[in-house]
Structure 1
Amino acid sequence: MEAMTVVAVAPRSLVVLAGLPGAGKTTMLADVDTGGAAAVVLDSDQVRGYLRTVLPASLPYRFYRPLVHLVHRLRILWFALFTSGLLLVHEPSTRPTTRVGLVAVGLVSARPRHFLWLDATAEQALSGQVRRGRLIRSRSFTRHVRRAARLRRRFAEGHAPRGWQAMTLLSRGDRLRLAVA
């Protein structure tokens, strides 16, 4: 049975849903309840899907992966600066530089910053990758897992990532409701 997790956020918040690749971030964001509040959801899969339609079908993803990540991050900055509503961002965020970059986007755009961590074991995340039919390279996944273990320990002690005003731990069985106030 799914549990509903209600997270209070300000109307213009930058809400980042982070976690291991395959943890279920895309699935959770697809079902998020914003209570009718205007929200933009940004997921790198949106960019990947678009590029797949305009690039040659024979081009392997590994060749345009850097472009997907660049465009995704540019979209985050663009929407943070030029939209007025809630901004929901899908980003693994296991890298400190990614979290710092997102904090900078929040500061430049004067948005309150809320960090959501979707907790999943390496096995659960790998299973999620298999289910979606897209495995990331094993070396890359191992780095994500190692960094996530350090983050998980800090989060369990109640420490939000530096620069984030609030943090919420989520499990794969949670449904997410953002209470905009």
Structure 2
Amino acid sequence: MLNTQTTVVRVRPRSLVVLAGIPGAGKTTLLTRLNADEPVTVLDSDQVRAWLEPRVPLPYKYWRVLVHLTHRLRVFWAAFFRPGLLVVHEPSTRPGTRFMLVLAGALAGRSRHFLWLDASAAQALDGQIARRRLVRAHSFERHVRRGSSMRADFEAGWVPFGFASVTLLTRAGTSGGLRIMVP
């Protein structure tokens, strides 16, 4: 029998939940197995990319910045106007990205919770290959370096500025999915 575990995370109603981790860690896969107690809006930059791709006749590298800018604007819009939980898929290894997410949540009056999906660089690279979405090598290396430092900080009790909590997730611990409970 397959050993599957579902991780349960408790958050306040109408929270902004950031599902973070290095590119390829398994965030997208985990979100396909998300179960929540209230309506949930999931935002992922891949949603923007998928919508734009057939409409933009240029290689992705020329419009990548448009995808990420649009994704961030959608986060702000949803923080203010969408009911229920807001789950944002974002590597969040950069302090500026975390600040933007905190700002969106704080201005909209949402409690912020940070979920870190831990994966080794090798596991993440395998994940990228499986999805056929390879991050540029130097960008991936920066994410891995910052992510390793963040993981060590999480284990020491660090909570990123502006977030109410941090939950460290593992691939094995979430093999059966992720459940977000609202008391």
- The two structures have a TM-score, normalised by structure 1, of 0.96
**Equivalent residues in 2 for 1:117-132, closer than 5 Å:** 117-132=116-131
1:3 aligns with 2:2: no
Identity of aligned residues (%): 56
Q: What is the rounded CA distance, in whole Å, between the counterparts of 1:158 and 1:168 in structure 2?
A: 10
Q: Deviations over 1:73-103 (max 9, x none)?
A: 0000000011121100000000011111111
Structure 2 residue matching 1:99: 3-state secondary structure: helix
CA RMSD of aligned residues (A): 0.8
Partner of 2:39: 38
Structure 1 residue matching 2:169: 3-state secondary structure: strand
Structure 2 residue matching 1:106: 3-state secondary structure: helix
Q: Deviations over 1:18-71 (max 9, x none)?
A: 000000101111210113x11100011100000012212xx2111111000000
Q: Which amino acid aligns with 1:172?
A: R
- The two structures have a TM-score, normalised by structure 2, of 0.95
Please, which of 11, 14, 17 is the counterpart of residue 15 of structure 1?
17
Structure 2 residue matching 1:53: 3-state secondary structure: coil
Partner of 2:65: 66
Tell me the number of residue pairs that the alignment of Structure 1 and Structure 2 aligns.
178
Q: Which runs of 4+ in 1 moved over 4 A?
A: none
Partner of 1:29: 31
Extract unaligned runs of 5+ from structure 2. Answer: none
